[in-house]
Structure 1
Amino acid sequence: MNKLVMNKPLFARPVWMAIIVCSVIAALLPVLNLSFPDGHALHVSSYMVGLVAKFMCYALAAMALDLVWGYTGILSLGHGVFFALGAYAHGMYLMRAIGRDGVYQSHLPDFMVFLDWKTYPWYWAMTDNFWYCMALVVLVPGVLAFVFGFFAFRSRIKGVYFSIITQAMTFAFMLLFFRNDTGFGGNNGFTDFKRILGFSVTAPATKAVLYLITLSTLLAALILCRSIVSSKLGRVLQAVRDSESRLMFIGYDPLWFKLFVWTLSAVLCGIAGALYAPQVGIINPSEMSPANSIEMVIWAAVGGRGSLIGPIVGAFTVNGLKSWFTAAFPDLWLFALGLLFILVTLFMQEGILGMLKKMKKFRKLEKPQEAL
């Protein structure tokens, strides 16, 4: 029996086929953008490529949240801070890569010259090195999550109380980063990126490479997370979600399991933010807004939490609706988002993916009756 469980494929064959087809279609978008001129029937606009790339970053963040909420039962309302910290860590490098091409033609970024900074603060040391900043993308969210999670989980804070303190954490970081004296650009944050590894950030070829890296990272993270939740470790995480007291009774210490998945989720969220910054072209403290963290929860809920693929579907669906709604009815989007969450909570508790599974089961039940 154990061998059968361990040899079970990560996804069923139809799901693998759907993942491959969607990945190929997504990978073709930047190719069509570069290969065909404007006005051609097969041309995909740069705007569309950038929009899908942004959605993929959001999908990675939503999947990271689902790892702790859907499988471990830990509802975080503060994942926006991990996303933003990853973006800021990459943004540090991008700001220094501007060199003297800024408005003030200084070796310091424009916002530092404007605020009368004379030199880089100590925490900006070595941030002109790309790989050092990539290490920060992983370490800064990871260390913060580990320290925060260790004290929270050791104190057995859970449920709504844990959700509240995560929201308080992201709000505190947002207020800190809004200050002009912290060296992170204050209200405006980091923007006007020009180069990454010597290549122009705005060049179509660079955008295509960043897009494909984002797609590859999303797929790799999906396989990694699915491998975890399908393993014995994953079954322990689900036991934490379903009955933590019973798990402790049979001899497991939930602390380290929760801390592992919490830290991994934060790291994945930080990577999503790092991919987001150069493609969107700006990162500011508003990304740490508690509302952004709540939106991540909505993405996971709408798509179907506890499925990994569901949050990806939810992120694309909700943000696609947001793009259309804010253009057509800009004042009504927040009302529509709230209504969507209420409807999902009341009538689609398993989200879009759960609804599709129910429809599939219903069709299977109908077939024998049709044969009769």
Structure 2
Amino acid sequence: MNQPLTLTVAQKAGPRLSLAGLGLALAALIALPLLSLLPADNPLQVSAYTLTLVGKILCYAIVALALDLVWGYAGMLSLGHGLFFALGGYAMGMYLMRQAAGDGLPPFMSFLSWSSYPWFWAGTDHFLWALCLVVLAPGLLALAFGFFAFRSKIKGVYFSIMTQALTFAGMLLFFRNETGFGGNNGFTGFTTLLGFPVAAQGTRAVLFGLTVVLLTASLWLGWRLAQSKFGRILTAIRDAENRVTFCGYDPRGFKLFVWVLSAVLCGLAGALYVPQVGIINPSEMAPTNSIEAAIWVALGGRGSLIGPVLGAGIVNGAKSWFTVAFPEYWLFFLGALFVVVTLYLPRGVIGLIKKERDA
């Protein structure tokens, strides 16, 4: 009689512990930008470097969560989410470059002897239009790609290869100087955002806070979708798409919606990444970056939402340390980490935590 009662108490305590852990993590993230505003001689003061590093990792965590929506729940492994992330970053970068250039042209355009902005730069001196581009650029590209891919019933490894080819093509296009995106160097040298200095500690604190808000909102949205009928249909599509079709549902609409939503989340993450890090270039579209995002999700535990966030934090935290202490061994460590997770942690870190908690 005691054993079932004990199990019941443990099952009730599990969600409470999870909510308590999320609450503590959120409180710590909210405290970071506030601590960064303290005087430099205060021992509790958080440096600008630390705030930027954590902010960058949080942006990557949003990308991991977005990828989990399409891979963990819908079963579509995308190896091109870096493209959507970079498009959102470039859209924000165009506005920041216009702010830095004032009435003139950005340095890379002057170097190429251009006399005016290209047509697609029109309106980018307005912040609201830049925000629209942040959503529209990745969203419309994902809509067009997804419409034709899902209509042609492309899935599995073929879908992954096509997404990787898409981001590789985007990288090659943005590397060219004549496309008007700064070529190999991309965009950098930002000065102001809405009239506020980008490098000011207060501006960095606000950008960090917005990143925390976006991550929290993305987690809430993902949780609501997963708990809804829509989420159950997505997981059914992942496990047995043909049976879903036989039940009278059209998988294409469900897959297209979550695919576009995932791309938009990546674009918003890229828009917050650029002013915090201070640069955006075509290397963000490199296929290796998208593959690394898949490792974040696999390590954290796909299909869990919070797992990919943990995976992004673990991998990028280790990367920040390895690239300083042992830069030549980072790729070996990343490869070994992926092999270990595949063999011994099929459900990722979040699965291990749940197993230890239930033991």
- Give the TM interval when normalised to the shorter protein: over 0.9
Matches within 5 A, 1:1-372: 12-38=15-41, 40-100=42-102, 107-362=104-359
CA contact (8 A) 1:226 1:308 kept: yes
**Which letter maps to 1:89?**
A
User: TM (normalized to structure 2)?
Assistant: 0.95
Deviation at 1:187, TM superposition (A): 0.2
Measured on the aligned residues, the alpha-carbon RMSD in Å equals 1.2
**Which letter maps to 1:316?**
G
Deviation at 1:331, TM superposition (A): 0.6
**Which letter maps to 1:47?**
Y
Taking every aligned residue pair, what percent have the same amino acid on both sides?
61
**Which letter maps to 1:54?**
K
Aligned to 1:368: none
**Which letter maps to 2:211?**
T
How many pairs were matched up? 347
Deviation at 1:222, TM superposition (A): 0.6
Distance in 2 of aligned mates of 1:247 and 1:322: 41
Q: Which has the higher helix share?
A: 2
CA contact (8 A) 1:66 1:311 kept: yes
For residues 208-239 of structure 1, give each alpha carbon's deviation from its aligned partner in whole angstroms, at most 9, with x where no partner exists: 00000110111011101110111000000000
Deviation at 1:359, TM superposition (A): 1.2
CA contact (8 A) 1:68 1:265 kept: yes
Distance in 2 of aligned mates of 1:148 and 1:357: 37
Distance in 2 of aligned mates of 1:183 and 1:99: 15
Distance in 2 of aligned mates of 1:93 and 1:246: 47
**Which letter maps to 2:101?**
G
**Which letter maps to 2:316?**
N
Which structure 2 segments of 5+ residues have no match? Answer: 1-13
Distance in 2 of aligned mates of 1:51 and 1:196: 20
Deviation at 1:35, TM superposition (A): 1.6
Deviation at 1:12, TM superposition (A): 2.9
CA contact (8 A) 1:90 1:274 kept: yes
CA contact (8 A) 1:89 1:136 kept: yes
Distance in 2 of aligned mates of 1:211 and 1:248: 43
For residues 179-214 of structure 1, give each alpha carbon's deviation from its aligned partner in whole angstroms, at most 9, with x where no partner exists: 000000000000000000000000000000000011
Aligned to 1:365: none
Distance in 2 of aligned mates of 1:144 and 1:128: 23
CA contact (8 A) 1:36 1:42 kept: no
SS of corresponding position for 1:116:
coil
Deviation at 1:159, TM superposition (A): 0.2
**Which letter maps to 1:84?**
A
**Which letter maps to 1:275?**
L
Distance in 2 of aligned mates of 1:273 and 1:346: 32
Distance in 2 of aligned mates of 1:281 and 1:46: 13
**Which letter maps to 1:69?**
W
User: TM (normalized to structure 1)?
Assistant: 0.92
